[in-house]
Amino acid sequence: MKEAPFQVMYAAVKAVWQFVGNLAASAQLQPDKRNLFDSDLIGELNHRTGRLDAGHDPYGWYDEDYGD
């Protein structure tokens, strides 16, 4: 009979621990963190990304008339 409260407490602590672990695992890092060399201050406007870059993106387009 004395084991029942400890089992309930153990199950509650285990559930909270799993919740915190899952929450931490699902947290995303900032994928859009900008670096100094990846600045929007210079370059050509890449219409695919909406940013200025060096103009070397093979999938981007760099003029406003993009195929029309």
Give yes or no for residue 12 having a pLDDT over 90: yes
Mean pLDDT along residues 13-26:
89
CA-CA distance, 44 to 66, in Å (whole number)?
Answer: 14
CA-CA distance, 10 to 54, in Å (whole number)?
Answer: 57
The 10s digit of each residue's pLDDT in 28-62 is: 655 566 655 555 567 788 888 888 888 888 888 88
CA-CA distance, 5 to 23, in Å (whole number)?
Answer: 27
In 1-68, which ranges are continuous DSSP H helix? 3-26
pLDDT for 11 equals: 93
Q: What pTM was computed for the model?
A: 0.38
DSSP for residue 66: S
Which tokens belong to 6? 């400890």
